[in-house]
Structure 1
């Protein structure tokens, strides 16, 4: 038995391990408690329901995507280069998750389908990061758009095929990088031309 204090982080570590070993069907509060050798009531002190535990797992998983992207958004330098690097990093993170552990990726994708509030918060965070880069590009005259938030949403939607889990089966297409490069040229052209969104 592990004598370490039971913390939300330990519970989330255990939930991830249960998901990795047994899949979504075995990611119940009871199974996580059994894995930790504690009562399920102990888990409920930290997470009031199975849904709350799954939301926390989804939030943690999505945070692993948004955190490195936030670092790119905050860097100094060319907004064009940063925005491109931000999207390349987003695509790389998503592809790695699919390629390294496809079953776990499918499990997390299923969990995020249930955690709508968590997903909405994640998308809002991504949009804030993109808008931050676009706004810096506007201030340096690299971009000519007038509304960074609207531009951020348009750019995220224009590139959805390359990073949204619903399109994961397309990411093994040998032409996917070429396709992204073509879309990116159009996106960039839209950002550097004066537009009224």
Structure 2
């Protein structure tokens, strides 16, 4: 193994794991491959992540958190609740479309990993619907939205737009006309939230 001059951290391990997954795919990537890429023993990796499953879960969470963090900034940004809701949904669609289109091999890998890590995915969805709830609550508080139960409305908005963020629909995201279809769904949702 080549010597390593940097301190081994969980973040470095996750970065290396992502590269190993990109290179080998989820079926063939091993902890030994990750250790080799870092120039350390596999025992060193296990000191940070007790099992291969824990490592795969952590790298999946890291990947999903990138999207959540970007979207969280929109929740607290300026602008009306309508503008923030529209921007949030557009950013979610763009983030997913970007991930699927720019690095299809890694996207396919993460699709496998998210299937393995239902708890992490559930937490991610809860975080996203929580963000939507805060936007809808702000709209309800200002009188812009009519939503007696902002959390239920947020879940409904999330599910209604699933075609534009659920990885199962990734093949459709580059199809001509999909952006117009997305905008039509968002317009309809906003009309529903603003109608008395």
1:49 to 48, 51, 73: 51
2:143 to 141, 144, 147: 141
Which ranges of 4 or more aligned residues in structure 1 deviate by more than 3 Å? Answer: none
Partner of 2:114: 112
Whole-Å Cα distance in 2 between the matches of residues 50 and 112 of structure 1?
A: 15
Q: CA RMSD in A?
A: 1.0
Number of aligned positions between the proteins: 194
- TM superposition shift of 1:193: 2.5
Residues 69-116 of structure 1, C-alpha deviation per residue, up to 9 Å, x if partnerless? 000011132000100000111111111111111111000111111011
Q: Say if 1:18 and 1:26, in contact at 8 Å, map to a contact too.
A: no
Partner of 1:84: 86
Q: Say if 2:4 and 2:40, in contact at 8 Å, map to a contact too.
A: no
Q: Say if 1:79 and 1:136, in contact at 8 Å, map to a contact too.
A: yes
Partner of 1:98: 100
- TM superposition shift of 1:171: 0.7
Partner of 1:188: 190
Instruction: Please give the secondary structure, in 2, of the residue aligned with 1:52.
Output: helix
Whole-Å Cα distance in 2 between the matches of residues 97 and 180 of structure 1?
A: 17
Q: Say if 2:81 and 2:144, in contact at 8 Å, map to a contact too.
A: yes
Whole-Å Cα distance in 2 between the matches of residues 188 and 2 of structure 1?
A: 53
2:179 to 177, 180, 192: 177
Structure 2: where are the runs of 5+ without partners? none
1:163 to 151, 160, 165: 165
Q: Say if 1:127 and 1:149, in contact at 8 Å, map to a contact too.
A: yes
TM-score, reference length from structure 2: 0.96
- TM superposition shift of 1:157: 0.2
Whole-Å Cα distance in 2 between the matches of residues 103 and 14 of structure 1?
A: 16
Whole-Å Cα distance in 2 between the matches of residues 27 and 71 of structure 1?
A: 34
TM-score, reference length from structure 1: 0.95
Whole-Å Cα distance in 2 between the matches of residues 16 and 147 of structure 1?
A: 39
- TM superposition shift of 1:120: 0.4
- TM superposition shift of 1:174: 0.5
